[in-house]
Chains A and B, each alone.
Chain A
Amino acid sequence: MSDTKTSPIPFAFVAEFENATELYHAAEHVRDEGFKRWDVHTPYPVHGMDHAMGLGKSWLSALVLAGGTTGFLTALFLQFFTQGSLYPTIVQGKPANLSTIPAFFPVLFELTILFSAFSVLFGLLIVIMLPRWNHPLFNSELFKKFSDDGFILVIESRNRKFDVEGTRAFLEKIGAKRIEAVEEDPV
């Protein structure tokens, strides 16, 4: 455990739990306690954890819908504008108007998918606030276990309900195996 004397209020408490089930129940307790800035860090997404943490459905899908629509409209414009009015080329026995839309479908479809996929990528990065290569939690050795087999619960000190002694006791009560206080970077 790192030294908590230098600064009385750490950045966060990092607590490790035995397994997914324990962590799941611990999350339910933390949720019920009313903490706001906290999270569980696991090697894989734990099924049902959103419910245990009291989180709703991700709204990423709305963003992607917008991206897809943009792609669809882009393709519509690109094809009808270039083929219909900018420089109509009357080939393959197909007219240069709306009746040719079956031939425009593949590109309509591909661009819809392409734009949607980009909005998944960038939307996701924005929503989960990455890339962020530096984070106080990386100062913790215990925290690093999350990417191997650690089931980690982190309660940040920026919670109104946070107090150093009380929260540590609370974490012990709900079954934390090890607890570590993490400091923010000195700089």
Chain B
Amino acid sequence: MSQTVTNAEHNVHPSDQEGIAREPLVLNNRSMSWITNRICGIVENRQPLIWWILFVPSVLLAGVLGFTLVYLVSTGVGIWGNNQPVAWGWAIVNFVFWIGIGHAGTLISAILFLTRQKWRTSVNRASEAMTLFAVVCAGIYPGFHVGRFWMVWFLAPVPNANAIWQNFKSPLLWDVFAVSTYFTVSVIFWYIGLIPDLATMRDRAVTKVRKFLYGLFALGWRGGNRQWRHYEMGYLLLAALSTPLVLSVHSVVSFDFATSIVPGWHTTIFPPYFVAGAVFGGFAMVLTLMLPVRKLYGLEDMITPKHIDNMAKIILLTGTIVGYAYIMELFISYYGANKFEKDAFHLRILSGHYTWAYFCMFFCNVISPQIFWFAKMRKNLWVVFIIANFVNAGMWFERFVIIPTSVSMDFLPGQWGFYSPSIVEKWMFLGTFGLFLSLFLLFLRFLPVIAISEVKGVLPESDPHHHDWEEIKARRNAAHRG
């Protein structure tokens, strides 16, 4: 309880002491033009060798995805490992996995915007991009999982040949609406955020093609306050719309499971638990991507240890919430006195085929992030990177634990069956990583990875009342010493 207060600390007013004073979000007093140059430079200069080393295999992997999809459509879903009773195998596991990853982007953009967390500015652009690419990857799975891909338009609210409409009472249809709305709104959000930065790119462009293309998409942005004020309102509104939207998307995904009566799926805490898990996994993916990007492109002054520290804290928080949900599930499976529910969890954690997956999940998602209670660990980039990857894996396992284990052994033992993915499914999953990475690398190549205008806005001197704050600081220090 007692902390030694050093003499040096006594000379500083408490408001300016370490750990209390607000840390700068851009280090080394970088100027605005430095920020512009550094971020635009990534796009304008040649890409480093490592970009190509990553890009080529990613594209090849994405090609594998294309190949497996063609193979799938031309042959039929029988080439997957799905069976009875496990009709929802990796396809749905991977769908939920990618959709979950897609949640951090909107969280950073919207929720942190609404709660005035200024540190979001350095990472929001990349995570929004990541969101879009993750949703693209996610969308592939249910699209092809319907079996007859050429009939996928049945998902849209259009009556079929017998004039029967879609069943709006079905969670699967809610899913179609939720995911497509989410993708559309995320694109709008992302694009509106990009407009001022595209204008910056336009004004710096040296080649005609660039000037034309960036100019085209910048829509002639002039950065006048008469534009900014509406722009800010629009951005705020989109943030306010996206926040409940992001909650709804994963809640609806959880409804796919929880509205059923399958033991292990039907539990009321699923919606918030899925949302927390999605944010958790999404942040881990943001860290996985941004730690190397930061190093590679020299963005350490804008993505500072403070940013990483905050993201690690969010991982700790959401990981613990997920842990709370796991414990609630276990407790209620005991307390609920429902035989099937009890057995489902018994098989899940003690004696089933997939017990190992449960423990992988529990370790990765609940235990491993607890290391972030220690500030030192949050500052150690290697630790953060490793834990982030644990979480990536853990969140995949979570979906795996929920989906196949619950249906593989449900009510009738005579109907029990074991599920293991086929080689096509495995390559398909790897392929989506290829697609995801290729898209992300292209994004790095062509668009500003950090929101330039927003980072400029959080510099201390950007505040027109900056000098008044300096005065207050001077005054309190004078009073403190005097």
Q: In the complex, are there CB atoms of A and B closer than 8 Å? A: yes
A residues sitting closer than 8 Å to B (CB atoms) are 19-21, 23-24, 27, 39-50, 52-53, 55, 57-58, 60-61, 64, 78-79, 82-83, 86-87, 89, 91-92, 94, 100, 103-104, 106-107, 109-111, 113-114, 116-118, 120-121, 123-125, 127-128, 130-135, 137-138, 144, 146-149, 154
Pick from B164, B226, B457: contact of A55, CB under 8 Å = B226
Q: Which residues of B contact A86 (CB under 8 A)?
A: 163, 165
CB neighbours (8 Å) of A128 from chain B are 226-227, 230-231
Whether the Cβ atoms of A110 and B181 lie closer than 8 Å is: yes
In Å, the complex CA distance between A154 and B167 comes to: 57
Verify A107–B168 contact, CB threshold 8 A: yes
Interface pick from B43-51, B77-85, B169-177, B338-346: B169-177
Q: Mark B217-231, 1 if CB is under 8 A from A, else 0.
A: 001111111111111
Within 8 A of A (CB), among B221-273: 221-234, 237-238, 241-242, 244-245, 248, 252, 255
Q: Which residues, 443 to 482 on B, are CB-close (under 8 Å) to A?
A: 452-454, 456-457, 461-467
| Candidates B234, B453, B465; contact of A123 at CB < 8 Å | B234
**Complex interface residues of chain B between 66 and 113 (CB less than 8 A to chain A):** none
Interface pair B222/A117, CB less than 8 Å apart: no
Contact indicator A137/B168 (Cβ below 8 Å): no
What's the nearest-Cβ distance from chain B to residue A11, in Å?
A: 13
Asked if B319 is at the interface of the complex by the 8 Å CB criterion, the answer is no
Query: Does B157 contact A41, Cβ atoms closer than 8 Å?
Result: no
**Within the complex, which residue of A43, A60, A89, A135 is in contact with B237, where a contact is CB–CB below 8 Å?**
A60
A19 to B465, CA, bound (A): 11
With A20-B463, A45-B457, A107-B174: A125-B219 Cβ-Cβ less than 8 Å: yes
Is B404 positioned at the interface, with any CB of A under 8 Å from its CB?
no
- A111 CB contacts on chain B under 8 angstroms: 177, 181
A187 to chain B minimum Cβ distance, whole angstroms, is 17
Are A131 and B219 closer than 8 Å at their CB atoms?
Answer: yes
Give me 9 A-to-B residue pairs in the complex whose CB atoms sit less than 8 angstroms apart, sorted by A's number: A20-B463, A106-B178, A109-B248, A113-B241, A120-B237, A130-B221, A130-B227, A148-B204, A149-B33
Q: Known interface pairs A60-B234, A109-B248, A148-B203. Does A116 touch B241 (Cβ–Cβ under 8 Å)?
A: yes
- A111 CB to nearest chain B CB (Å): 7
Q: How far is the CA of A55 from the CA of B157 in the complex (A)?
A: 44
Asked if B229 and A45 make an inter-chain contact with CB atoms under 8 angstroms apart, the answer reads yes
Across the two chains, which residue of chain B brings its CB closest to A121?
B188
Q: Quick check: A87 and B164 within 8 Å, CB to CB?
A: yes
Complex CA distance for A113 and B457, rounded to whole angstroms: 28
- Please report the C-alpha to C-alpha distance between residue A91 and residue B173 in the assembled complex, in whole angstroms: 14
Check B168 against A110 for contact (C-beta < 8 Å). Answer: no
B192 interfacial contact with A, CB 8 Å? yes
Q: DSSP majority for the B interface?
A: helix
Shortest Cβ distance from residue B57 to the other chain A in the assembled complex, whole angstroms:
36
Report yes or no: B220 in contact with A58, Cβ–Cβ below 8 A: no
Closest chain-A Cβ to B314's Cβ sits at a distance in Å of 24
Q: Quick check: is B215 within 8 A (CB to CB) of the other chain?
A: yes
Are B169 and A40 touching (Cβ within 8 A)? no
A100 to B173, CA, bound (A): 15
B184-204 toward A: CB 8 Å interface, digit per residue (1/0)? 110011011000100110111
Selected from B189, B220, B225, the residue in CB contact (under 8 A) with A42 is: B225
In the assembled complex, the CB of B40 is this many whole angstroms from the nearest CB of chain A, namely 9
Once the chains bind, are B234 and A120 in contact (CB under 8 Å)? Answer: yes
CB distance from B92 to the nearest CB of A (A): 18
Known: A45-B231, A128-B231. A20 touches B181 (CB 8 A): no
Least CB separation from B191: chain A residue: A121
B233 proximity list for chain A (CB < 8 A)? 57-58, 60-61
If A40-B225, A113-B241 touch, whether A147 touches B164 (CB-CB below 8 Å) is no
Closest-by-CB residue of B relative to A20 is B464
Contact A124 B231 (CB under 8 A): yes
Q: From B200, which residue of chain A is reached at the shortest CB distance?
A: A147
B375 sits at the interface (CB 8 A): no
- Within residues 13 to 59 of chain B, which ones have a CB less than 8 A from any CB in chain A? 31-33, 36
Contact of B192 with A121 in the complex, beta carbons under 8 Å: yes
Considering the complex, give the chain B residue whose CB is closest to the CB of A131: B219
Query: Are B237 and A148 within 8 A (Cβ)?
Result: no
Contact pick for B32, options A45, A100, A149, CB 8 Å:
A149
Any chain A CB within 8 A of the CB of B292?
Answer: no
Interface pair B230/A58, CB less than 8 Å apart: yes
Contact of A106 with B184 in the complex, beta carbons under 8 Å:
no
From B174, B177, B221, B226, name the one whose CB has the most chain A CB atoms within 10 angstroms: B226
Q: Are B464 and A44 in contact (CB under 8 A)?
A: no
Q: A133-B219, A148-B203 are in contact. List 10 more A-B contacts (CB 8 A).
A: A21-B466, A41-B223, A58-B230, A83-B168, A89-B165, A111-B181, A113-B241, A113-B248, A120-B237, A124-B192
Complex: A154 Cα to B227 Cα, angstroms = 13
Q: Chain B nearest CB: distance from A151 CB in Å? A: 10
| Interface membership of B216, Cβ < 8 A | yes
Complex contact B165–A120 (CB within 8 A): no
Which 5 residue pairs across A and B have the least CB separation, nearest first? A149-B32, A44-B457, A58-B233, A24-B464, A131-B219
Closest B residue to A105 by beta carbon equals: B174
Q: Is the CB of B177 within 8 A of A107?
A: yes
B421 interface residue per 8 A CB criterion? no
Cα(A145)–Cα(B20), bound, Å: 36
Q: Indicate if the CB atoms of B181 and A114 lie closer than 8 Å.
A: yes
Instruction: Return the contact of B229 from the options A58, A83, A103, A135 (Cβ within 8 A).
Output: A58
> Cβ of A55: which chain B residues have Cβ within 8 Å of it?
225-226, 229
Q: Which of A46, A110, A131, A148 has the most CB of B within 10 A?
A: A110
Contact B464 A78 (CB under 8 A): no
A112 nearest CB neighbor, chain B only: B241
* Chain A residues with CB below 8 A from B166, complex form: 82
B220 touches A79 (CB 8 A): no
